[in-house]
Structure 1
Amino acid sequence: MKKSALINSELSYLVSTLGHTDEVTICDAGLPIADEVQRIDLALTHGVPAFLDTVKVYLSEAQIEGVILAEEFKQVSPELHDAFLSVIEQERETSGKAISISYISHEDFKTKTLDSRAVVRTGECTPYANVIFQAGVVF
C-alpha cells in the first residue's frame, strides 16, 4: 500500500496495486529475471541506481511485513547486508510494525522470484544484493 510520492511511474503503479502478502523483488544487475514476471529495469550503469537507494525509495512508498534474503548475502557481502538490516530496523521503528526476516539459498531465492508481482532491477554490482519484500497493510 502506498505511503508517499514516488517518481517512477511503473514502480509507483505496482506499489499502489499491491495486496497483503504480495511479493516484490529488488535485485542487483545480475539476477536472472524470468520472462513471466514483470521487469521494472532501473539499471543505468554499474552501481546506478544502488541497491540500498532503491530499497529506501521503495520503503518510503510501500508497507512491508516480510523480507526474504539469500543466505549467501550475509556471508559474501556482509557490509551491504548489515547496512540493509539497518534500513529494515529503521523501517520497523518508523512504521511501528513487525517485519520478519528469513533466509533461503540463492538457488531457492531465484525460484521464489517467480512468485513476485515484479522484479525491480538496479545497477548494483555487489554479489547477492537481492531482496523479496512481502507487502503488509497500513491498518
Structure 2
Amino acid sequence: MNKHALINADMNYLAATLGHTDEVTICDAGLPIPAKVKRIDLALTHGVPSFIATVKVWLASSQIEGVMLAEEFVKVSPECHQALLAEIDAEQQATGRIFSIEYISHEAFKLRTHNSRAVIRTGECTPYANVIFKTGVVF
C-alpha cells in the first residue's frame, strides 16, 4: 500500500506514467469529458469528493509546472477560485518553484481538455471549478 495520500489506483497509475508537459484536467461534475480522453470518475454525490480536496491530493502526488483556468471561474465562483490559488501558492512555496498560470475562455478550456492524458471528475457542483495542470519534472 502507498504511504502517501493518493490511494486511487487509476490516479496513481496516471501520475506514474506522466511525462514532462503532459496535461491532466481535474473538473467539476458538469464539465463535458471528451470521449477519447481517459475518464477517472471520482464523483459519488453532489460535492463528494470536492474539487479542492482532489486538487490537494493531486498536487501532493504529481509535480506540475503550469496551470490553465477558465476566465469565467474568477467572477462566477470567486471563493473556489481563491481556494485553488491558495493551494497552488502553497505548492509553489513547498517546491520552491513558480508555476505559469494561464486564463482562457471556458469554451477554449473545454477544447483544451481534448489534449489531456486524463480528466479526473469530482462531485464538485461549483460552476467553472476546473483546472488543467501541466506536468513538470522533479529534477
Normalising to structure 1: TM-score of the pair?
Answer: 0.96
2:19 aligns to what? Answer: 19
Residues 5 and 57 of structure 2 are in contact (CA less than 8 Å); yes or no, is this contact kept in structure 1? Answer: no
List alignment gaps of at least 5 residues for structure 2.
Answer: none
Q: Distance in 1 between matches of 2:85 and 2:25?
A: 16
Contact 2:71 2:105 (8 Å CA) reproduced: yes
* Rounded Cα–Cα distance in structure 1 between residues aligned with 2:108 and 2:83: 23
What's 1:63 paired with?
63
Q: Report 1:1-139 matches (<5 A).
A: 4-139=4-139
- TM-score normalised by L of structure 2: 0.96
User: 1:12 is matched by which residue type in structure 2?
Assistant: N
Point out where structure 1 has 5 or more consecutive residues left out of the alignment.
none
What is the number of equivalent residue pairs in this alignment? 136
Deviations 1:36-69 (A, max 9, x none): 0000000000000000000000001000000000
Distance in 1 separating the partners of 2:19 and 2:97 = 17
Please give the root-mean-square deviation of Cα atoms over the aligned residues, in Å.
0.7
Distance 2:12 2:5 in 1: 8
Q: Write out the 4+ residue segments of structure 1 that deviate beyond 6 Å after TM superposition.
A: none
Q: Aligned-pair distance for 1:133?
A: 0.2
